[in-house]
Amino acid sequence: MPETFTVGVLGARGHTGAELMRILDDHPYVEMAFAGSRELAGEAVPGLEGLTFENVSPDDVAKRPLDAIFLALPDGIGGPYVEEIADDTVIIDISSDHRFDDDWVYGLPEMFREKIKGARRIANPGCYATALQLAIAPFAGDIDGVPTVFGVSGYSGAGTTPSPRNDPENLKDNLIPYRLTGHNHEREGARYLERTVRFMPHVHPAFRGLLVTTHMPLGEQTTVEAAHERLSSAYDGEALVDVQEEIPTLKDGTGRRGVLIGGTTISEDGLGLTVVAVEDNLLKGAAVQAVQNLNLALGLPEISGIL
């Protein structure tokens, strides 16, 4: 194993890119080659001594000797870079561009770890899709009907381009529902859980943090104790998934590098299961998961640089 791997980040100016840079700066096996940002080109990267933002073209990337590259770009922007990057370079795309592409590995380690190991093209999951799948997956074989998911996240999930959903004044004392059918993360969860899911996202005034409340109709009656034990067993040994009995709140996910799942509740008839999952949308929902995928792809300890 080389002492270090050389990696680059495109889209380093955004919220996710900034988190990613901070994690990589602490990574014991990584050396940063560049931080790509057209808008900030020439400026020093805050907190990372000696690194300057660069305006990096696809041709520039192709000429760099890289072991891996992160695409922390808006949807639909990364294509020209992917075309130029060498086949043996690991690409981790944090956008949604390849989450439905069979030629790319879907990077949710707790569900697809073995496929991610050694992969060279990895599609990082969406933030909501991560939380809702991890909440539902342990019970997928018991569900009889369509799970419904209420989601709420901080406005950093709406990106840096100004909009009503990331305007603090518009969000003050407010909760904004949006894209209530056909959200990409609804389609994503349905694809990899292999079942229909209904998802209703909302954005609230905090900058970061994410919560999903999932309701699952069951084919057979169960108890709170049995459902909690199912969750605990499913994630026993997972460094980035914690399970508790209490209902987690959105603040419990803010700043957390993994996912916290709890609040297991059963309806009076024993056939309705509710589970709550929280995470930080910029961390396990994006940057932490991307580094987790990098480690698996390069054969490194999975949580190197993360915890």
**Domains defined along the chain, listed by start:** 5-125+285-298 (3.40.50.720), 127-280 (3.30.360.10)
Mean pLDDT over all residues of the chain?
95
Is residue 165 over pLDDT 90? no
Task: Grade residue 159 by pLDDT with cuts at 50, 70 and 90.
Answer: confident
Instruction: Based on the residue annotation, tell me whether 283 is a catalytic residue of this protein.
Output: no
Are 9 and 35 in contact, with CB atoms under 8 Å apart?
A: yes
The Cα 204–Cα 178 span in angstroms is 11
pLDDT, position 50? 86
Is residue 2 over pLDDT 70? no
Identify the active-site residue in 66, 71, 127, 212. 127
Task: Grade residue 239 by pLDDT with cuts at 50, 70 and 90.
Answer: very high
Q: How many Cα atoms within 13 Å fall on the side-chain side of residue 91?
A: 25
Is residue 281 over pLDDT 60? yes
Is residue 76 over pLDDT 70? yes
In single-letter form, the type of residue at position 252 comes to D
Q: What residues contact residue 241 under an 8 Å CB cut-off, 6+ apart? A: 110, 134, 235, 258, 259, 261
In single-letter form, the type of residue at position 159 comes to G
pLDDT, position 163? 82
Is residue 194 over pLDDT 60? yes
Task: Grade residue 27 by pLDDT with cuts at 50, 70 and 90.
Answer: very high
In single-letter form, the type of residue at position 58 comes to P
The Cα 39–Cα 20 span in angstroms is 18
Task: Grade residue 49 by pLDDT with cuts at 50, 70 and 90.
Answer: confident
